[in-house]
Amino acid sequence: MKKIFLYLFVLSGLLFATSCSSSDDDNEGGDSDDSTASVTIDGTSLTFDTIVVEVEEDDEVSGFITTVSMINATDTSVILTFSVYDDNAGSDSISFMSYTENSMTYTYTTGSSLEFGDTQNLTSFTNVNSNGNLEGTFSGVLSRNTPSGFESVSVTNGSFDINY
């Protein structure tokens, strides 16, 4: 249930952020023009031109979690979201990732093998995660549960360099 609320919060943040022009704020909302992100999903290369960063306090870990939501440059129905704990860098630092296209959402969540079995995995490496800069790479398999079983998408060549 908490994941659903997080996902809805991120989507509402995206809708709010895209309704404002870049001159409406002084980059406090986390949308940065010099940030870059790209990924290949099932063989299709994607770039993202709208990147929104939200930093929230997470009471469960007594720290902050940074959630990054990105909208595809050519198809706004394509959204990639991931979360990483503040100042957490190194291997496997991304704790949650979702990919949405045409209202179908595929996810990865750390420790979710009971729910999804071995149908999802993610390898990530965060080079920088401090002072408003988040930089790293990722690849793996995201999945979703359907009435007929699991469906998966392959995620390769993922990279991000985000300043917020």
Question: Domain residue spans in the chain?
Answer: 2-22+31-163
CA-wise closest residue to 23 among 14, 15, 33: 33
Dihedral class, residue 62 (left if φ above 0, else alpha if ψ from -120 to 50, else beta) = left
What are residue 41's DSSP bridge partners? 44, 155
pLDDT at 71: 95
DSSP designation for 15: H
Residue 118 has pLDDT above 80, yes or no: no
pTM: 0.76
- Alpha-carbon torsion angle 64, 114, 11, 102, nearest 10: 150
- Residues 10-51 pLDDT 10s: 444 544 444 443 333 443 445 556 899 999 999 999 999 999
